[in-house]
Structure 1
């Protein structure tokens, strides 16, 4: 019984939510972003390329809740690191009512790296001005095996699916948020490649 219980829990909670349509939210996002260069890698995962040489992947992630589920799109950017070592940093907006800055939580790795990134970020007005109004839910920077990985989950570009009452709604990324998102990805790549 003890060996079957974890397998039962894994089967119950690791499966896709009922009503989840893989790839549909990503297709909405592709049209919403307006990026011409898009290559579907698999259902629910695609690679986008901008004219300036920036490439990033987007992956759907379904999150089950009681009588509903969310389909979130996770932007993933990889670039080379100029130094070795591992580190993981999570960013968040500071300020309870109005945003006052970007805060960092370092979860292991090289000591003081979060402070160096914060200082460099504040010295880059374009990147800082893109991140402050950007409506991200999660922003993580990880360095391992000689490369940086940026994972950004925007509040838009997602779908809400409810079972009772039944409805399905795509939450689009506004044109302003789209520009801020792409500017932030370009700026983060430039910043991280120099660290």
Structure 2
């Protein structure tokens, strides 16, 4: 009974103080690329070299507060015979200092995702960019639009607290913006070859 009550309490509701699109408008100033707001919580961006990606807002509810984070997603042209389930999770290695990155296949795989994970792991340009990038989540996953390379950065987020009243935007600093865009370019270049 108590577990059912907690599930009801945590159902997919937006936080009370959430303002859709406000974090994206602040991020738009930090990005320095051509961006257009699509709907309330999605930003379509195009870099100077023509590479396009989407930025989506996500909320994470905490006790009397919430975090609005931005996820950068870029379509990846994979072969049509690649399995349509599962995902590849990329994370940093090392406890105190970053030593590298590792690519892990999560979910069902027929061997095609393991081959793609190996490509991601062995690409020097992508690994160099990801090593200096501060991300919460980085993964290659299948969505309705196809395969997407998605990065959720620590910056480009907003922390909102109701007690004490606080609303703070965490900027995407210039160095991290450059490395983030470089990561998207490197992943795109890897699968275009």
TM-score, normalised with respect to structure 1: 0.86
Structure 1 gap segments, 5+ residues each: none
Distance 1:140 1:168, change over 3 A: same
1:82–1:146 CA contact under 8 A, matched in 2: no
Task: Provide Cα deviations, 1:135-184, integer angstroms capped at 9, x if missing partner.
Answer: 01001102578942111100100000011111110001111100000000
Aligned to 2:127: 128
Aligned to 1:41: 38
| Aligned mates of 2:109, 2:121 — CA distance in 1 | 22
Aligned to 1:185: 184
Aligned to 2:77: 80
Aligned to 2:103: 104
Structure 2 gap segments, 5+ residues each: none
Q: What is the correspondence of 1:26-175 to structure 2 with a 5 Å cutoff? A: 26-35=24-33, 37-84=34-81, 85-86=83-84, 87-107=86-106, 108-111=108-111, 113-114=113-114, 117-118=117-118, 120-121=119-120, 123-143=122-142, 147-175=146-174
SS, match of residue 96 in structure 2? coil
1:57–1:76 CA contact under 8 A, matched in 2: yes
TM-score, normalised with respect to structure 2: 0.87
State the Cα distance separating 1:109 from its structure 2 match.
1.9
CA RMSD of the aligned region, Å?
2.5
1:81–1:146 CA contact under 8 A, matched in 2: no
State the Cα distance separating 1:13 from its structure 2 match.
2.5
Aligned pair count reads 188
1:80–1:146 CA contact under 8 A, matched in 2: no
| Aligned mates of 1:125, 1:141 — CA distance in 2 | 17
